[in-house]
Amino acid sequence: MNKFDEHIQNLVALCSRIGKIQLENQSSLKIKTKSDKSPVTNIDLLSNDIIVEYLLSNFPDDIVISEENIDNTKRDNSYWVVDPIDGTKDYIKGGSQFCICISYIENNYPVFGIIYIPSTKEFYYAIQGNGSYLIREDKGSIRLPSKMNINDCIFLSTSVRESILDILGNHFPTSDRVFMSSAIKFSKIAEGSGHFSVRLGPTYEWDTAAGQCIVEESGGLFLDKNLKRFSYGAEDNFLNGPFFVINGNLSDYKDTISQCLSLTG
């Protein structure tokens, strides 16, 4: 048994409790602006405290790094990354496209990942070598991908460039486009609801690590600009480079990726 198995049910309960708090307080938030000009709410901070307390209590020797508390930038070969509300802007607007992301990174790669969606009460998780799963309330666990046929759909950030949309339109003219501001897009690709995603602009480790583990353990690919497996720990500020998420054969996407990367100069 690995170090995560015995905590799955506790983490399901923890995320469910936090998700309930997030939904109940969504219409009465206290909002501040962080140093990077992004918003943070009192519920981001409360959610963060609950998650970090659980991790430090149950894994006292581990390092925990959170979007809402990156004062501790010391990293070892392994550490946790936490985003208590991924998609804060959507959350503030009263939307439903926000989620909780928790991941454990070991030797530069995510080996455990959780994405919990409060609005649908869906708990996605993956453990390296054990597969990816979706737990729905009162419906048990489903191994991913849950769909036999992959939907002809591309998941994109809400801030995607128009030039990327043009490239995707030329290469995948029949694919529907779904715009999401959070890591929910990764869980949807893992389950087979879509086949591709691209992000050239900046993101952080806590934005992607959980989703990467879930995608990879479902059989998908999460690649960097060199078409190598996406890795972490290279930057002191936790910034990611461009990445591509594929549920399909890499050979079918190489030309698309090459054209997208040409936009980066």
Domain assignments of the chain as residue spans, ordered by start = 5-143, 153-264
Domains 5-143 and 153-264 in one fold: no
Does CATH number 3.50.50.60 belong to domain 153-264?
A: no
CA 55 to chain centre: 18
Q: Are 196 and 154 in contact (CB under 8 A)?
A: yes
Instruction: Check residue 149 and give its pLDDT.
Output: 81
Q: Rounded to 10 degrees, what is the CA torsion of 167, 169, 170, 174?
A: 150
Does CATH number 3.30.540.10 belong to domain 5-143?
A: yes
Q: Are 20 and 31 in contact (CB under 8 A)?
A: no
How far apart CA 53 and CA 48 sit, in angstroms, is 8
Q: Rounded to 10 degrees, what is the CA torsion of 167, 253, 173, 192?
A: -130
- C-alpha distances in Å from residue 14, one per residue of 11, 61, 100, 184, 247: 5, 21, 11, 18, 30
Could you state, in chain order, the average pLDDT of each consecutive group of 10 residues for the chain (265 residues)? 91 98 98 90 98 97 88 79 97 98 98 98 98 90 87 92 96 95 96 96 96 98 98 88 96 97 88
Instruction: Check residue 8 and give its pLDDT.
Output: 96
How far apart CA 152 and CA 70 sit, in angstroms, is 38
Q: Please give the sequence-ordered ranges of beta strands (E in DSSP) within 67-199, or none if there are none.
A: 78-86, 99-106, 109-117, 122-127, 131-136, 140-143, 153-156, 176-179, 196-199
Instruction: Check residue 147 and give its pLDDT.
Output: 77
Instruction: Check residue 210 and give its pLDDT.
Output: 99
How many CA within 13 A on the CB side of residue 250? Answer: 13
